[in-house]
Structure 1
Amino acid sequence: MAEPPVDPRHVVDPQTLEMLVCPLTKTRLTLSADRSELISVAARLAFPIVKGVPLLSLDEARNVDPEELQRLSR
Protein backbone atom coordinates (compact mmCIF):
# COMPACT_ATOMS: atom_id res chain seq x y z
CA MET A 1 0.00 0.00 0.00
CA ALA A 2 1.42 3.38 -1.04
CA GLU A 3 1.92 6.13 1.51
CA PRO A 4 0.03 9.39 0.94
CA PRO A 5 2.12 12.20 -0.52
CA VAL A 6 3.82 14.42 2.06
CA ASP A 7 2.83 18.07 2.06
CA PRO A 8 6.09 19.97 1.36
CA ARG A 9 5.13 22.52 4.01
CA HIS A 10 5.37 19.72 6.60
CA VAL A 11 8.97 18.76 5.85
CA VAL A 12 11.70 20.08 8.13
CA ASP A 13 14.53 21.81 6.29
CA PRO A 14 17.84 19.90 6.79
CA GLN A 15 19.75 23.16 7.39
CA THR A 16 17.31 24.05 10.15
CA LEU A 17 17.85 20.65 11.78
CA GLU A 18 21.60 21.27 11.91
CA MET A 19 21.03 24.41 14.00
CA LEU A 20 18.69 22.84 16.56
CA VAL A 21 19.96 21.53 19.88
CA CYS A 22 18.41 19.77 22.84
CA PRO A 23 16.82 22.36 25.15
CA LEU A 24 18.06 20.44 28.20
CA THR A 25 21.65 19.48 27.33
CA LYS A 26 22.37 21.85 24.42
CA THR A 27 23.74 18.90 22.43
CA ARG A 28 23.03 17.96 18.81
CA LEU A 29 19.78 16.22 17.94
CA THR A 30 19.43 13.19 15.67
CA LEU A 31 16.54 12.72 13.26
CA SER A 32 14.67 9.44 13.78
CA ALA A 33 14.54 6.93 10.91
CA ASP A 34 10.87 7.70 10.25
CA ARG A 35 11.61 11.45 10.43
CA SER A 36 8.89 11.98 13.06
CA GLU A 37 11.14 12.84 16.02
CA LEU A 38 14.39 14.51 17.00
CA ILE A 39 16.38 12.41 19.45
CA SER A 40 18.66 13.76 22.16
CA VAL A 41 21.06 10.94 22.96
CA ALA A 42 22.56 12.84 25.91
CA ALA A 43 19.17 13.50 27.56
CA ARG A 44 17.54 10.25 26.35
CA LEU A 45 14.57 12.25 25.07
CA ALA A 46 12.63 12.25 21.80
CA PHE A 47 11.02 15.47 20.63
CA PRO A 48 8.12 15.13 18.15
CA ILE A 49 7.97 16.83 14.78
CA VAL A 50 4.39 17.87 14.01
CA LYS A 51 3.56 19.12 10.52
CA GLY A 52 7.21 19.95 9.95
CA VAL A 53 7.63 21.85 13.23
CA PRO A 54 10.00 20.39 15.85
CA LEU A 55 8.40 20.69 19.30
CA LEU A 56 11.44 21.23 21.50
CA SER A 57 9.55 21.57 24.75
CA LEU A 58 10.38 19.25 27.63
CA ASP A 59 6.62 18.92 28.15
CA GLU A 60 6.28 17.44 24.63
CA ALA A 61 9.30 15.10 24.86
CA ARG A 62 9.08 11.41 25.59
CA ASN A 63 11.68 9.33 27.39
CA VAL A 64 13.71 6.96 25.23
CA ASP A 65 14.65 3.65 26.84
CA PRO A 66 18.30 2.48 26.59
CA GLU A 67 17.52 -0.36 24.14
CA GLU A 68 15.73 2.00 21.75
CA LEU A 69 18.52 4.55 22.10
CA GLN A 70 21.09 1.91 21.16
CA ARG A 71 19.09 1.00 18.03
CA LEU A 72 18.77 4.68 17.06
CA SER A 73 22.47 5.41 17.44
CA ARG A 74 23.57 2.73 14.95
Structure 2
Amino acid sequence: MDKKLLSLLVCPVSKAPLEYREEAQELVCKASGLAYPVRDGIPVMLESEARQLTAEEKLEK
Protein backbone atom coordinates (compact mmCIF):
# COMPACT_ATOMS: atom_id res chain seq x y z
CA MET A 1 0.00 0.00 0.00
CA ASP A 2 1.38 3.38 -0.98
CA LYS A 3 2.18 5.39 2.17
CA LYS A 4 1.06 8.65 0.57
CA LEU A 5 -2.32 7.17 -0.37
CA LEU A 6 -2.70 5.71 3.12
CA SER A 7 -2.04 9.10 4.68
CA LEU A 8 -4.94 10.58 2.65
CA LEU A 9 -7.50 7.87 3.36
CA VAL A 10 -9.79 8.00 6.39
CA CYS A 11 -12.62 5.78 7.58
CA PRO A 12 -15.85 6.82 5.84
CA VAL A 13 -17.79 6.15 9.06
CA SER A 14 -15.65 7.78 11.77
CA LYS A 15 -13.29 9.93 9.65
CA ALA A 16 -10.42 8.47 11.74
CA PRO A 17 -7.06 7.42 10.25
CA LEU A 18 -6.61 3.89 8.94
CA GLU A 19 -3.92 1.30 9.59
CA TYR A 20 -2.87 -1.05 6.79
CA ARG A 21 -2.53 -4.72 7.75
CA GLU A 22 -0.63 -6.31 4.92
CA GLU A 23 -1.09 -9.95 6.03
CA ALA A 24 -4.87 -9.57 5.98
CA GLN A 25 -4.98 -7.10 3.05
CA GLU A 26 -7.18 -4.76 5.06
CA LEU A 27 -7.39 -1.15 6.18
CA VAL A 28 -8.38 -1.10 9.84
CA CYS A 29 -10.15 1.66 11.76
CA LYS A 30 -10.11 1.15 15.51
CA ALA A 31 -12.44 4.10 16.08
CA SER A 32 -15.32 2.50 14.15
CA GLY A 33 -14.22 -1.09 14.67
CA LEU A 34 -14.27 -1.82 10.95
CA ALA A 35 -11.80 -3.44 8.56
CA TYR A 36 -12.03 -2.49 4.87
CA PRO A 37 -10.70 -4.97 2.30
CA VAL A 38 -7.96 -4.17 -0.19
CA ARG A 39 -8.59 -6.05 -3.44
CA ASP A 40 -5.95 -6.09 -6.16
CA GLY A 41 -4.26 -3.14 -4.46
CA ILE A 42 -7.47 -1.05 -4.40
CA PRO A 43 -9.08 -0.16 -1.06
CA VAL A 44 -12.81 -0.89 -0.96
CA MET A 45 -14.03 1.93 1.28
CA LEU A 46 -17.67 0.93 1.56
CA GLU A 47 -19.23 0.30 4.95
CA SER A 48 -21.27 -2.53 3.43
CA GLU A 49 -18.04 -4.31 2.39
CA ALA A 50 -16.28 -3.85 5.73
CA ARG A 51 -16.19 -6.43 8.48
CA GLN A 52 -16.46 -5.85 12.22
CA LEU A 53 -13.24 -6.20 14.18
CA THR A 54 -13.15 -8.71 17.00
CA ALA A 55 -12.44 -7.53 20.54
CA GLU A 56 -8.90 -8.93 20.24
CA GLU A 57 -8.26 -7.11 16.97
CA LYS A 58 -9.34 -3.80 18.51
CA LEU A 59 -6.61 -4.20 21.14
CA GLU A 60 -3.82 -5.03 18.65
CA LYS A 61 -1.25 -2.41 17.73
Establish whether TM, by shorter chain, passes 0.5. Answer: yes
Other-structure match for 2:34: 45
Q: Which amino acid aligns with 1:62?
A: R
Q: Which runs of 5+ in 2 are unaligned?
A: none
Equivalent residues, number: 61
Identical counterparts, % of pairs: 34
Q: Which amino acid aligns with 1:46?
A: A
Q: Is 1:27–2:16 an aligned residue pair?
A: yes
CA root-mean-square deviation: 1.2
Q: Note the alpha carbon deviations across 1:26-74, whole angstroms, 9 max, x for none.
A: 0100111416000000000000000000000001100001112212x2x
Other-structure match for 2:4: 15
Q: TM-score, normalised by structure 1?
A: 0.76
Take 1:30 and 1:13, find their aligned partners in 2: how far apart are those partners? 12
Larger Rg: 1
Structure 1 segments (4+ residues) deviating >6 Å: none
Take 1:16 and 1:33, find their aligned partners in 2: how far apart are those partners? 15
